Structure 1
Amino acid sequence: MAKSDELNPKTAIALARTPLYSLALEQKARLTAFSGWEMPVQYLGIGQEHESVRTSAGMFDISHMGKFAFQGKQLVEQLQPLVPSDLRRLQPGQAQYTVLLNPKGGILDDIIFYYQGEDAAGVQRGVMIVNASTRVRDKAWILAQIESAEIDFLDLSAEKVLVAIQGPHAYSHFQRLVEEDLTPVKAFEHLEATLLGKSAFIARTGYTGEDGFEVMVDPDVGIELWQTLDKAGVTPCGLGARDTLRLEAAMALYGQDIDETTTPLEAGLGWVVHLDSKGDFIGRSVLEQQKATGVEKRLVGIEMQGRHIARHGYPVLSEGQVVGEVTSGTQSPTLGKAIALAYVPTALSKIGQSLDVEIRGKTYPTVVVKKPFYRSPYRAK
């Protein structure tokens, strides 16, 4: 991909640009540095973009994400030790949200693995989407763990565009551009299809809490897709709305809500840990111990009891003592309330628990609430 001709004044490192960068300029997007990329943070405004996704349809350029393709015999068996989820459960066309773990059970990254099936010769295929900030590390980690002589690994990150179309009207806008019927495709299912007359990898996944699709295509197809959807009235959206949407849905952001120091059990991701149905995996002993004795801290949802917003890094207090820290926080456009995620001791993690957040030297009341903060009635099942 093309590199920025200018240097980011904060880091003095050239920022990468996606193939849709020129379209963002045409649409007068406000740009920002994000994980080494120059990305749109907003187009029309975060509030308007957020509302479009919740009530109609919005689209996001997420081409900065890492995109890996795998092919080989016993692919699933080779990936099994890297994650706590039992990938053998997957049927062709299904996907699993899961995490890569280090030996201490800490989260190296959260990923989605899409299983594409096995051919007559026993060769299995799959696609993995990883975070932009961890792509290089993930690639090195995965290649160090698998038998690369038996598995063909292809990094498609620089070759493919990734576009997310999200919202209750995403299906109707997108289906008219796809030759195949998307009706049978359920949440966390995928297929290879024909989009605008070209081949495309299409998944019914997203990071907004709404129904929608994530589409991996060649750059020329991605540009045409963006322009076509724009003309049809789909709202271009930036990273700002993506963040408020995912937080309302209580979806973790890597590097803030989850990282190498947190385990999936502490982060409320116990549903991706399949201790009973799979064998050994990296970090298993730590998760088994936590399962047996319980975790000391939990990632909880909190709701501020006033107009003040709890931001990343703000201390969480109980009876005047610091007991935790806010990992993500915003003013929820949908709910009209200040919401946040925070790690607190397990003893203080029950719904209804009163806590305080320190903001610029003063404390303000908050309460632990059920996650997600918002559940869309339109989300695909």
Structure 2
Amino acid sequence: MSGTLKRTPLFDSYVRYNGKTIDFGGWELPVQFSSIKAEHEAVRTKAGLFDVSHMGEVLVSGEGALPFLQKLVTNDVAKLVDGQAQYTAMCYEDGGTIDDLLIYKRGENDYLLVVNASNIEKDVSWMKKQANEDVQIDNQSENWALLALQGPKAETILQRLTDEPLSEIRFFRFKDNVDIAGEKTLLSRTGYTGENGFEIYCSPEAAVILWDRILTEGKEDGLVPTGLGARDTLRFEAGLPLYGQELSKEISPLEAGLGFVVKLKKEEDFLGKSVLAAQKQDGVPRKLVGIEMIDKGIPRTGYPVYHNDELVGEVTTGTQSPTLKKNIGFALVNQEVSDLGQELEVEVRNKKLKALIIETPFYKRS
């Protein structure tokens, strides 16, 4: 398995913590350390530490950086102030999604873009194709590592390792050059679990040190190393999309329910704007909805969805929710059957089982 798969700097650490690895988009990453349910529960009630060093980091700088980004992405990058992060989407001319990403404004003409691991090469190639000579695009993914510390006890644990007043870093804000346990980091607060927590960007060497230091520091608080399995169930309960499932080149941000990142009123003619504007005006042809199974069965990615025996869509993500103890899913369905309370059927192992459209997110922290 390891012959062709890429590894993060923390691969040897997984072995020490009994991580069970899988092929995730060409990377050998831990799906779990103990069990998905136990790790999920730890993040909801205490804390979990994730290695997400496979994510891509791309620096965009130069005189033309802001106009370039305004053309490239759907959100309004001009609204960012230094030290602020923004969630956005990058689209093709036809409105399909190239990727969803985070933009960090580090200073004037200085932006850090964080993209999905499986899309790094595709994204960078697309960016370079759109760029003028007054924009520099530097794929620095190899030089960065990324840890995510998530859960209600995350701040308490991390505060013991830094003098930086963490409560002052608000949601979707970040600080550069933060010293954590003697290592230099960029520290942000965005989250992909529905819980409070931090992303720790650092050098590959620092990540290996910080992984052990943070886990040791948080052990008595119930902190556990957490794999991709729990990351998926956590983000799904919190109603957050995963590229390749809720978003793709065939699925627009509006169809995925991400209208809040599509700023049609910004002056710049961003890529895909005319198609997305038409979708907004005419109504999206398909809509991402939350479903709960009425009949006994778990909806899984790719399962067909029916209404009155007519195929109307498919499940994009589904599982038995560890927090809610219910069988739930996201489904991309035709607009005309997308209302709350609508009854649908999901084909599970050649049987059509009843499901109900319910509100999302499925989980919100109190």
* TM-score bracket, shorter-length normalisation: over 0.9
The aligned runs of 1:55-66 (5 Å cut-off) are 55-66=45-56
Once residues 267 and 148 of structure 2 are traced to their aligned partners in structure 1, the CA distance between those partners, rounded to angstroms, is 32
Q: Which runs of 5+ in 2 are unaligned?
A: none
Q: Deviations over 1:258-285 (max 9, x none)?
A: 1001111111000001111332111111
Answer whether contact 2:150 2:198 (CA < 8 A) is retained: yes
Shift of 1:288: 1.1
Query: Which moved further from structure 2: 64-73 or 35-44?
Result: 64-73
Once residues 30 and 80 of structure 1 are traced to their aligned partners in structure 2, the CA distance between those partners, rounded to angstroms, is 41
Equivalent position of 1:244 in the other structure: 233
Equivalent position of 1:165 in the other structure: 149
Identity of aligned residues (%): 43
Equivalent position of 1:88 in the other structure: 78
Once residues 168 and 200 of structure 2 are traced to their aligned partners in structure 1, the CA distance between those partners, rounded to angstroms, is 17
Given the alignment of the two structures, is residue 135 of structure 1 paired with residue 120 of structure 2, yes or no?
Answer: yes
Once residues 139 and 78 of structure 2 are traced to their aligned partners in structure 1, the CA distance between those partners, rounded to angstroms, is 23
Query: What is the TM-score when the length of structure 1 is the normalising length?
Result: 0.93
- The alignment partner of 1:173 has SS state of helix
Shift of 1:306: 3.5
Answer whether contact 1:311 1:340 (CA < 8 A) is retained: yes
Equivalent position of 2:103 in the other structure: 113
Equivalent position of 1:277 in the other structure: 266
Q: CA RMSD in A?
A: 1.2
Match 1:359 to one of 341, 348, 353: 348
Once residues 146 and 135 of structure 2 are traced to their aligned partners in structure 1, the CA distance between those partners, rounded to angstroms, is 24
- The alignment partner of 1:73 has SS state of coil
Q: Deviations over 1:301-345 (max 9, x none)?
A: 101114310001101011111111001101100000011101111
The aligned runs of 1:145-294 (5 Å cut-off) are 145-147=130-132, 149-192=133-176, 193-232=178-217, 233=219, 234-294=223-283
Once residues 99 and 125 of structure 2 are traced to their aligned partners in structure 1, the CA distance between those partners, rounded to angstroms, is 13
The aligned runs of 1:19-98 (5 Å cut-off) are 19-98=9-88
Match for 1:340: what amino acid?
G
- The alignment partner of 2:141 has SS state of coil
Q: Deviations over 1:223-265 (max 9, x none)?
A: 1111012112121000000010011011111111110011111
After TM superposition, where is structure 1 displaced by more than 3 Å over at least 4 residues in a row?
none
Answer whether contact 1:307 1:337 (CA < 8 A) is retained: no
Shift of 1:73: 1.8
Query: What is the TM-score when the length of structure 2 is the normalising length?
Result: 0.96
**What number of residue pairs does the alignment pair up?**
361
Once residues 73 and 196 of structure 1 are traced to their aligned partners in structure 2, the CA distance between those partners, rounded to angstroms, is 36
Q: Structure 1 residues 173 and 278 mapped into 2: Cα distance closer, same or farther (>3 Å)?
A: farther
Q: Structure 1 residues 179 and 278 mapped into 2: Cα distance closer, same or farther (>3 Å)?
A: farther
Match for 2:270: what amino acid?
F
Answer whether contact 2:146 2:201 (CA < 8 A) is retained: yes
Q: Which runs of 5+ in 1 are unaligned?
A: 8-13, 119-123
